[in-house]
């Protein structure tokens, strides 16, 4: 061993400069252990699952709120048209669809609303359904809208038109049948609730916050 006046040479106590890169490469070649890789994969999977679940639930909640706002806007539109034009409208609910109908004072019958694209038949998003309550009683809703038929067509069912009445009446005075409407997602029963009163005011039952 080389010595100096102050002791052993420091050059002899550390690897040569040529050996350092080889040692570093050997250490890097060892990589991560299998356990470390599995732990990282598990953490990534958990984070992604939580993120996707949060995004999915938020999107569904937004869908329910969106449908509630659309319903309020359409009912208010029908009320405006009823009061301005002296017409009587009705609102018919099915399990996952709804439509506005119109009363014909000449025939004393309800019929389809023709020529008004805003108040047309509308479909709820997949997995979303209605629960309707009138006078605190749950209404059993049909899957399909009533078929009014055509009195001039052979075999038409005129009796449907004579006995038919929509669930909600929207009068030319602006008054309306009070109702409570649940717009719910059937996968987890999450819902938003709309309420209307006799004076025609319609709103969310609870604050959206």
Q: Is the pTM of this model over 0.75?
A: no
Fold of 34-204: minor pseudopilin epsh fold (3.55.40)
pLDDT less than 50: residues of the chain = 1, 10, 12-13, 15, 17, 24-25, 54-59, 151-159, 207-209
pLDDT tens figures, 90-124: 999 999 999 999 999 999 999 988 888 999 999 99
Where are the domains positioned within the chain? Answer: 34-204
Token pair for 19: 């050996």
C-alpha triplet 83, 78, 174: angle, nearest 5°: 40
């Amino acid at each position: 061993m080389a010595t100096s006046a102050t002791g052993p040479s420091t050059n002899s106590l550390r690897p040569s400069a040529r050996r350092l890169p080889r040692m570093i490469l050997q250490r890097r070649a060892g990589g991560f252990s299998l356990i470390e890789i599995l732990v990282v994969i598990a953490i990534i999977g958990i984070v992604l699952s939580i993120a996707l679940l949060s995004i999915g639930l938020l999107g569904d909640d937004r869908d329910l709120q969106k449908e509630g706002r659309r319903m309020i806007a359409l009912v208010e539109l029908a009320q405006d048209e009823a009061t301005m034009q002296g017409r009587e409208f009705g609102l018919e609910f099915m399990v996952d669809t709804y439509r506005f109908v119109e009363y014909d004072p000449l025939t004393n019958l309800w019929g389809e609303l023709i020529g008004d694209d805003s108040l047309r038949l509308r479909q709820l998003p997949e997995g979303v359904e209605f629960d309707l309550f009138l006078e605190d009683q749950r209404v059993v809703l049909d899957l399909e809208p009533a078929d009014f038929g055509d009195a001039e067509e052979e075999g038409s069912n005129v009796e449907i038109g004579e006995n038919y009445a929509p669930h909600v009446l929207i009068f030319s005075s602006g008054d309306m049948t009070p109702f409570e409407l649940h717009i719910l997602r059937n996968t987890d029963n999450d819902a938003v609730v709309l309420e209307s009163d006799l004076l025609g005011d319609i709103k969310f039952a609870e604050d959206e916050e």
